[in-house]
Amino acid sequence: MIVSRRSTSVRMRLTKSRIVSFADLIACWLLLISTQRIGDKYRLYLGAKRDGINYNREIFDPVYMLKLLDLGYEMAKNGYPWANTPSGMD
């Protein structure tokens, strides 16, 4: 449906709807995620340059990441005293 406003009257007309397949939705979602990831990389890089911080790109290591996740899980399970405020605001 398209709603257009001309002076004080509102006109409506029905448009032909298109049925989108689930595969089309997934493809669009994957494209969106991919482009957002690229934008995030540029934003981080430019922020680092602006603030005079080195930007070091790491290659993702899933084995190392799983070890970190396991460590965090064990720390939380054993009652690690997590900070409730950002550093410097204690």
* pTM of this prediction exceeds 0.85: no
Q: Residue 3: what pLDDT?
A: 43
Per the domain annotation, does 30 fall within a domain?
yes
Q: Residue 34: what pLDDT?
A: 87
Per the domain annotation, does 58 fall within a domain?
yes
List, in order, residues 6 or more apart from 55 with CB less than 8 Å away: 44, 45, 48, 49
Per the domain annotation, does 54 fall within a domain?
yes
State the residue range of the domain holding 41: 21-77
* Tens-digit pLDDT profile for residues 28-59: 888 999 889 889 989 999 999 999 999 888 78
Q: What φ, ψ does residue 20 adopt, rounded to 5°?
A: -105, 135
Q: How many domains does the chain have?
A: 1
Spatial distance between the Cα atoms of 71 and 69, rounded to a whole number of angstroms: 5
Q: Which helix (H) or strand (E) element contains residue 82?
A: none
Q: DSSP of 46-77, one letter per residue?
A: HHHHHHT---------HHHHHHHHHHHHHHHH
